[in-house]
Amino acid sequence: MAMAAAAADALAPVHEPGRIPRILHRIYIADPRDKKRANFSMPIAHERYVESCQLHYSADAGWQHMFWDGAAAEALIANHYPSFLPFFQQAKAIERSDVARYAILHRLGGMYLDSDIECWREGSDMLRGFDLVAQRTHGGEGATNAAIAARPGLPVFTKALDLVQERDIDTDADVMKVIARTGPDLFTAALEAVGLQRTDGMFGAAYTLDGVAYRLWRVGTWFHPCQWWEQKCRRRVYVERASGQGDMRHLVGMHRMVGSWIPGKEDGIGILNVTAELCGGATHEGSNGQPGGWVAPKVDADLEEQRRRR
């Protein structure tokens, strides 16, 4: 954590086109109102995922790690993005985590990963030659903000911070509203604002705009082998990886999508991924018939496969 605290006040690195710094960032901002978990350094169930990334993205491979808590993230905002500080201080913990990654990547560059992302190998080969690497998702969702790698100084991140301040600060913890305010929806909007266009809701694979080379890896590659509801896909990936029979050249890890930021799941132990992987057609609904978590969207399987291949 000391490294992140020092970085919050350090000079920005030199911008090198096509070169993403080998810094792996993790963020955990605990909710101070949650006395049980206020001293957590990460959700307790995520330690093995974080350790897997420390193993593969090691100092021997040329990587350094920065762990950001609330104090280090706030210091970075105060020192370098002071106009954004009032919003940051009023936002919920998960929203502060969302916006902190945009500020960190703008200031320092590197690769940000959610704490429930497991690493299977060192993946510099999938970053090489690009200025920003992100992960496409299905249908009209655009891009996730769970895994982003970038060189410092890219305008997409200042655009994200600008867009955040145009959206209302809201005490509503509804999952979809958080996603829209600061999460994947906001990151998608920022990508569009700097010129990346979508076709049928889907981003393309690669863009070069204003001297910036973007790579958006499709589902089935990088850290996203399957959608969370694709039970058969997830089981197949587990078996292929365990047996050594699958082609993992374009996979560097797996986003477990535990959803520890969802209220009630702060320990990082929940049934979202268990539902997706073990319970067949279950949709994780409460006894009142309302969704108790994520419910798989209605997706045309053939159309989804065509979109993946783009």
Q: 138 near 304, Cβ under 8 Å?
A: yes
The reported pLDDT for the residue numbered 93 is 83
The reported pLDDT for the residue numbered 137 is 82
The rounded Cα 166 to chain-centroid distance in angstroms is 22
At 283, list the tokens: 């949709």
At 114, list the tokens: 């959610």
**Residue ranges of the chain whose pLDDT lies below 70:** 1-3, 5-17, 33-44, 139-140, 167-180, 259-310
Q: Pairing state of beta strands 198-199 and 202-203?
A: antiparallel
Beta bridge partners of 222: 251
At 77, list the tokens: 């905002």
pLDDT single digits (tens) 212-249: 999 999 999 999 998 877 878 888 998 898 888 878 88
Residue type, 34: D
Cα separation of 119 and 181, whole Å?
Answer: 28
Q: Residue 264, SS3? A: coil
pTM over 0.85: no
Task: Go through the domains of the chain in sequence order and give each one's CATH number.
Answer: 2-308 (3.90.550)
Cα separation of 67 and 85, whole Å?
Answer: 20
